C-alpha cells in the first residue's frame, strides 16, 4: 500500500499530534458542544435526530461526516503513484493545509455559524487520522484514546507477565501519547474559555512545530547518504 507518510512517527511527533488531537476536541466541545475530531458522535446524533424526525438537524450532522470523508479520500488520492509523481512533498502539503485551515478558523468571528468550525475541524482531523498511523513500531491514533488505551494495557500486561522489554517500551509510548492528549484537552478547554475562536491558533502552531520536526528529520536522514555519495565521487578540478 502506497502512503504519503513512509516513516513511523517519533515520540516527539506523536506526542505533539496527540496534544493537537486533545486540544481540538476540547476546543470544539467548549465552543459548540460537539466533538469534531472523529465521527462516531455525529453518526449517533444523526440517528437520534432522524428517529425524532428532526430532519434539518439530522442533515446538518451529516455535513462534518462528509467533510471527514473528503479528508480521508484526499490522503488516499495523494498516495496514488501517479499523483506522487506530480506532488513532490504530499506530507508537507497535508500538514501545511491543516495549519492554514486552523489559522483561518482562528480569524473567524465568534458569532459565525458553528458549522464553519466543526466542518473544518472534521476535515483537518481526517487528514491527521489518515496520515499519522504508526508510532515507532506500533499502530496508534492521535485523535481518540480508546485504541491507544487498549493497546497500552495489553503491552503493560505482557511486560508484567512475560517481562518483554519491547512490551514495556510500547506501554510507555502509549502512556506518553495518552498523557499528551490529556494535556492538549486541558489546554484547549482553558485557552478556549479565555480567548474564544482565536484559541485554535495554538493547534495551528503545534502542527507547524510538527512540520518543522519532520523537515529536520528528513534532512538528518539524508546527510549520511549525501556524505557517502560525496566520498564515492572522485574529486574534480575546478
Over residues 144-198, the pLDDT tens digits come to 889 999 999 999 999 999 888 889 999 999 999 999 999 999 999 999 999 999 9
Q: What is the pLDDT of residue 163?
A: 87
**Which candidate, 71, 172, 180, 43, places its Cα nearest to that of 127?**
71
Over residues 22-77, the pLDDT tens digits come to 999 999 999 988 888 888 888 988 999 999 999 998 898 899 999 999 999 999 99
Among residues of the chain, what percentage have pLDDT more than 90? 69
- Assessment of whether the complete model's pTM goes beyond 0.85: yes
Q: Indicate the pLDDT class of residue 110, thresholds 50, 70 and 90.
A: confident
Q: Is residue 105 within 8 Å of 120, Cβ to Cβ?
A: yes
Q: What is the pLDDT of residue 231?
A: 46
Angle between helices 55-78 and 40-51 (to 10 degrees): 150
Q: What is the pLDDT of residue 2?
A: 57
Contacts of 33 (CB under 8 A, 6+ apart): none
Amino acid at each position: 500500500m502506497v502512503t504519503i507518510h513512509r516513516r513511523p512517527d517519533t515520540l516527539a511527533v506523536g506526542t505533539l499530534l496527540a496534544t493537537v488531537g486533545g486540544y481540538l476536541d476540547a476546543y470544539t466541545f467548549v465552543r459548540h458542544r460537539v466533538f469534531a475530531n472523529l465521527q462516531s458522535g455525529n453518526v449517533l446524533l444523526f440517528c437520534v435526530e432522524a428517529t425524532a424526525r428532526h430532519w434539518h438537524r439530522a442533515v446538518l450532522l451529516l455535513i462534518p461526516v462528509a467533510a471527514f470523508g473528503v479528508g480521508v479520500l484526499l490522503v488516499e488520492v495523494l498516495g496514488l503513484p501517479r499523483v506522487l509523481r506530480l506532488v513532490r512533498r504530499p506530507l508537507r502539503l497535508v500538514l501545511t493545509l491543516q495549519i492554514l485551515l486552523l489559522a483561518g478558523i482562528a480569524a473567524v468571528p465568534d458569532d459565525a455559524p458553528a458549522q464553519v468550525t466543526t466542518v473544518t475541524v472534521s476535515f483537518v482531523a481526517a487528514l491527521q487520522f489518515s496520515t499519522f498511523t504508526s508510532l515507532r513500531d506500533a499502530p496508534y491514533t492521535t485523535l481518540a484514546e480508546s485504541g491507544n488505551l487498549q493497546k497500552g494495557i495489553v503491552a503493560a500486561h505482557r511486560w508484567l507477565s512475560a517481562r518483554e522489554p519491547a512490551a514495556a517500551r510500547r506501554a510507555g509510548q502509549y502512556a506518553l501519547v495518552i498523557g499528551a492528549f490529556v494535556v492538549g484537552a486541558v489546554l484547549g478547554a482553558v485557552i478556549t474559555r479565555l480567548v474564544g475562536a482565536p484559541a485554535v491558533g495554538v493547534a495551528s502552531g503545534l502542527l507547524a512545530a510538527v512540520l518543522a520536526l519532520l523537515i529536520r528529520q528528513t534532512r538528518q536522514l539524508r546527510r549520511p547518504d549525501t556524505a557517502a555519495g560525496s566520498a564515492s565521487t572522485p574529486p574534480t578540478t575546478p
